[in-house]
Every structure is written in C-alpha cells, then in structure tokens.
Amino acid sequence: MIHQEYIYELPMKVRDYECDFQGIVNNSVYQNYLEHTRHEFIMTRNVNIMELHNRGIDVVVARIDIAYKSPLHGGDEFLSKLYISKEGLRYVFFQDIYRKADNALCIKARVDCVALVNGKLKNCDELDKTFF
Amino acid sequence: MIHQEYIYELPMKVRDYECDFQGIVNNSVYQNYLEHTRHEFIMTRNVNIMELHNRGIDVVVARIDIAYKSPLHGGDEFLSKLYISKEGLRYVFFQDIYRKADNALCIKARVDCVALVNGKLKNCDELDKTFF
Amino acid sequence: MIHQEYIYELPMKVRDYECDFQGIVNNSVYQNYLEHTRHEFIMTRNVNIMELHNRGIDVVVARIDIAYKSPLHGGDEFLSKLYISKEGLRYVFFQDIYRKADNALCIKARVDCVALVNGKLKNCDELDKTFF
Amino acid sequence: MIHQEYIYELPMKVRDYECDFQGIVNNSVYQNYLEHTRHEFIMTRNVNIMELHNRGIDVVVARIDIAYKSPLHGGDEFLSKLYISKEGLRYVFFQDIYRKADNALCIKARVDCVALVNGKLKNCDELDKTFF
C-alpha cells in the first residue's frame, strides 16, 4: 500500500482545562481538535463551515474511529495532520495527531463525513471542489 | 449471531450548552455521555474510577468507534445503554444511545478499554470481577 | 435584609469528565450548571430558550459574578437553586449550588441577563410573564 | 484613577465547537480562555501550574466577575490581555478580551485567586515572586 501524504497540518497546544483527573487530555477533547483541524483546513480553501450551514449545506460526521496511542499532557505542543479521500458519498478524513517534542503518534483517526443539502444526503459539487 | 442484551442503561437529557451552531449535540459530547455512562455503570458495581486511579489502576480507552445515526437536539431525553465483552486484554463496551421520544437509535459505539496498572498494560482481576 | 426564597431547584450530579487535573470540577463548568438550571427553570414555565431564539428573542448574559466557596468532586450530588428579580431591563438570577451530602454552599452566583429582540436590547413582556 | 497597563497578552482564535446554538461563543468558554491565558502567562515566568499542583501548591479561583460586552463568533481572532494586583492574600487578575478585527472589547473580567498550600489558605512567597 502506498502511504498517502498529509495535505494539511495545524500546530496546536494542549490547554490545561482540557486535561481530566488523570492529568491527561480527556478522550473527547481529541474530537474537538479533529473538528477544529477540519474547519481550519476548509478555511484554507476559502470555505467557511458556518457560512455553508447558513446556506443549507451541512458537513456531518457519519462515523468516527479513533485509536488512542499515546496521551497528551497539559502544555504539550502537537501537530494535527490530515488527508482526504472520497468513498461513494463519503468524504473520509484521515487525521493523525503527533506530539511535537518527540514526534510520537498520539491518535490515529478516520472520520467519515457526508453532505446534507437542506437536510438530505446528497453529493455536493461545491464540497468536491473544496476538498479535491 | 445472537444479540447480546444490555446490562445497564442510564436515562439522560441533553443540556442546551452541549449543542453547537447547527442546533444539535456536538459530536464530541457523545463521548462525554459514553464515559459518564461507563463510570455510572461501574459505580453500580461499587467501584469508583477516580478511587481506582488513586490506587494506580487506570481504565484507559484504547479505541473508540462511533456511528452517528440520528442527532439529539436541545432538551431531548435519551437512554444510554451498554453491555460488555472481553477480548484478550481488552474490555469492549458496546454502547448505544436511544432518543426517548421515539426510541430512535442516535449513536452506536464500540469502546475498547484496557487496564493500566502502575502505567503498565496488564490483566486486572479486580476489573474482571467488577465487569463480569 | 429579608432573605428571598428560592423558587426553583434542580438536582444534579457531577460527571467525572467535568473535573480537571486538580480532581475537582473546573471553574468554567459551574457556568454550564447555572445555564442548564436557568433553561430547565424556564421550561417549567413552558418556554423553550431555543424556540425563543428561533423567534428572534435571545436571553443574553450581560454579567456574571460567581463566588467559589467549596469545590465539588467527581460523583458529588448537588442542588442548583435560583430566584429572580428585575432591575431595570435586567433579569437578575441569584443562583446558588449546594452539595447534597452536607448541604455545603459550593458557589454563590449572580447572573444578569437581558433580552435581545431581533438583536436590540428591549424590555420583553413575554419574558416578564415567564419569569414573574 | 491611573489606568494600569497590561503586562501580558495572548493571541487566540475561536474554534467553531466553542459556539453554541446562538452561533456565538458560549459564556462559559470565556472562563476557559481566561484560565488558559493565566496559565500561559505563568509559564512565561517559568512556573508550571500543574507542576505546582504536584508540589502541593494550588492557585484557586475564589471569585470571578465577568462583564460580557460584545460576543465572539466562530473563527474570530482575539487578544486576551491581563494585569495583576495583590489585595491581602488575593492575587487579582484583571483580564480583558478584545476582538482583533475591530479592537472591540468583548469581555472585561476580574478574577480573584488565592494560594492553597497543602490545602490551607496561605500567603505564598513563590507565587509573589512569580507574579510581581
């Protein structure tokens, strides 16, 4: 299998309030990181998710699969990277997060999104042009 | 395949601050619901996750897979249900959320957890007795 | 000064993910509790905050003042209580949270809200009738 | 009264998941911004809040007073600024947030913190040296 290359990466830093009683980033917070990364990526294509929403186009997560490899701690800097492929109606975001200090893989995620146009599952040319 | 029965269910209700700009519960919040359900379930077995942590035993999520079926809205009441199986060192929580009003399946999740005893991946008799 | 009586109380329970690395509920989370309590209170008056929003009426927090008295821990049950007064255009919610186990006062808050009708600060008869 | 000058400012950006159903940053999220700003400020003094905690020193919020002036929206860039004074045992953080696009004041906050040393309210020389 040929390894596909990341097309976008976002540098981020853990905020202490994102850590739970175990002193590490709470599992659910990684979904916040992943969503923010997708939205920032989409902004680089001059598309604004909230503005799309106001026009009746929603990019909705249909499935998410996250493998937790190594936890992030308060103050850790990290890189959130992604690449995309299309499978049928699904935009599949492959999103990985690496700790900056040692380049350790923290999570490996696959996020399947679909477009809802006025609430209906549809192919969306505008998104196709945005992502590819 | 024989359908396994839920062994625990927790009634919950969406809080408006959990909804995002799309007016529906943000995807990451379901992980909060799932975690809270696991912890409440474990409490019914007289085990406290935070007390375990203080004794060096952490139940850690290794992988999570969530299929989003139907969104919850502000104020919706729902039932968060689970059953467990063990696969090797993994405690696998099958966790589904149903909207109360129409019994619609909202998410279908599989959460693989492992025990870390003093930071080391180990089989943990205490957890075996707790869960089964 | 005559002590005003609470007109509403909501029983709640700390969820472990709401605790931060200090093992206590993070300060910001109490605002979530307070907001949820206000919205639940308003629901008892058959008014839905999200439905009001869709009709152009927003109840917006203008100021919040919280005194933190005693921290809540994971799993703690508590009562979130409130009473209201009106000062000019402001609906002032006095909101206090008590730990259930020992009736200790956890936070004492004053939340000043105003009505925005189609984005304009206004007196709102509908809210007056709802709250008083 | 002589206006005191800010001694620290942190550039930040709204993440879409921080916005609620009204399409603006939820009130509670500003407390996250304020906490993160304090911790980042303290880091510039080579002190780490989580490391202090492990040595038995906790900086705890005793009171918070936030005036909400102008809401932040998804994607907005902003500057989170602060200065400090000491009043008795209290470290008082004056923290204001300005939208970057138009320099509008978004919130004006006063956060009273105290030091707990091994759980006891105390003056803490180490923090005095850190903050002043």
The 3-state secondary structure of chain D reads: CCCCCCCEEEEEECCHHHECCCCEECHHHHHHHHHHHHHHHHHHCCCCHHHHHHCCEEEEEEEEEEEECCCCECCCEEEEEEEEEEECCEEEEEEEEEECCCCCEEEEEEEEEEEEECCEECCCHHHHHHHC
Q: Hey, which residues of A are catalytic here?
A: 20
Nearest to B15 among C16, C19, C36 (CB): C36
Share of chain A above pLDDT 90, in %: 80
Instruction: Determine, for residues A23 and D49 on separate chains, whether the beta-carbon distance falls below 8 Å.
Output: no
Say whether pLDDT at B29 is over 80: yes
Q: What angle do CA A24, A27, A31 make, to 5 degrees?
A: 125
To the nearest whole number, what is the mean pLDDT of chain D?
93
pLDDT tens string B2-12: 457 999 999 99
Q: Which of residues 66-95 of B touch A (CB under 8 A)?
A: 66-68
- How far D114 CA lies from chain C's nearest CA (Å)? 11
How confident is the prediction for chain A on average, in pLDDT? 93
Query: At B30, is the pLDDT very low, low, confident or very high (cuts 50, 70, 90)?
Result: very high
Q: What is the pLDDT of residue B86?
A: 95
Average pLDDT over residues D14-35: 94
Report residue C69's pLDDT band, with 50, 70 and 90 as the boundaries.
very high
Structural tokens at position D21: 């159903």
Of the candidates C25, C45, C127, C37, the residue with the CA atom closest to the CA atom of residue C82: C37
| pLDDT band of C1, cuts 50, 70, 90 | very low
pLDDT tens digit sequence for D31-41: 999 999 999 99
Model pLDDT for residues D52-98, shown as the tens digit of each residue: 888 999 999 999 999 999 999 999 999 999 999 999 999 999 999 99
Mutate to test the interface with A, among B27, B39, B55 (most CBs of A within 10 A): B27
Q: Mean pLDDT in chain B?
A: 93
Rounded CA gap, A35 and B15, in Å? 21
Could you tell me if B20 lies within 8 Å of chain D, comparing CB atoms? yes
pLDDT for A98 equals: 98
Q: Is C27 exposed, middle or buried (0-12, 13-18, 19+ CB in 10 A)?
A: buried
- pLDDT by residue (tens digit) across B86-127? 999 999 999 999 999 999 999 999 999 999 999 899 999 989
pLDDT value of position D1: 44
Which chain A residues are within 8 Å of C28, Cβ to Cβ?
17
Distance CA B51, CA C16 (A): 12
Residue B7 three-state SS: coil
Using alpha carbons, select from B31, B32, B44, B99 the residue that is nearest to residue B69. Answer: B99
* Band (D27; pLDDT cuts 50, 70, 90): very high
On whether any CB of chain B is under 8 Å from the CB of C45, the answer is no
Q: Does A36 touch chain D (CB under 8 A)?
A: yes
**A28-52: average pLDDT:** 93
Name the residue facing D48 among A15, A49, A75 (closest C-beta).
A75
- Chains touching D (3+ CB pairs < 8 Å): A, B, C
At A77 the pLDDT is 98
Helices (H), chain C: 29-44, 49-54, 125-131
Mean pLDDT value of segment C44-71: 92
∠ CA D106-D112-D116, rounded to 5° = 140
**Under 8 Å CB-to-CB from C77, ≥6 apart: which residues?**
C11, C12, C13, C14, C99, C100, C101
- Residue B48 sits at the chain A interface (C-beta within 8 Å): no
Closest residue of chain B to A26, computed from CA coordinates: B32
B22 falls in which pLDDT band (50, 70, 90)? confident
User: Which pLDDT does position A33 carry in this prediction?
Assistant: 98
Q: Sorting pLDDT into bands at 50, 70 and 90, what band is D102?
A: very high
Rg value, chain C, Cα = 15
> What local confidence, expressed as pLDDT, does residue A3 receive?
57
* Contact between D97 and D78 (Cβ < 8 Å): yes
Q: Is the pLDDT of residue A1 over 50?
A: no
pLDDT > 60? residue C2: no
Beta-carbon pairs below 8 A across chains A and B = 54
Contact D19 B16 (CB under 8 A): no
Predicted confidence band of residue D49 (pLDDT cuts 50, 70, 90):
confident
Instruction: Please list the active-site residues of B.
Output: 20
Structure confidence by residue, pLDDT tens digits, C6-43 = 999 999 999 999 999 888 999 999 999 999 999 999 99
Of A82-96, B84-98, C117-131, the least confident: C117-131
pLDDT of A130 reads: 87
User: Considering the entire predicted model, what is its pTM?
Assistant: 0.95
Tell me which amino acid residue D30 is. Answer: Y
Tell me the shortest Cα–Cα distance from A32 to chain D, in angstroms. 7
ipTM computed for the complex: 0.94
Contact criterion met (CB < 8 Å) for D75 and A50: yes
CB contact under 8 A, A23 and C21: yes
Q: Is B36 on the interface with C (CB under 8 A)?
A: yes
Q: Is D35 in Cβ contact with C31 (below 8 Å)?
A: no
Alpha helices in chain A (DSSP H): 27-44, 49-54, 125-131
Contact present, D103 and D96 (Cβ < 8 Å): no
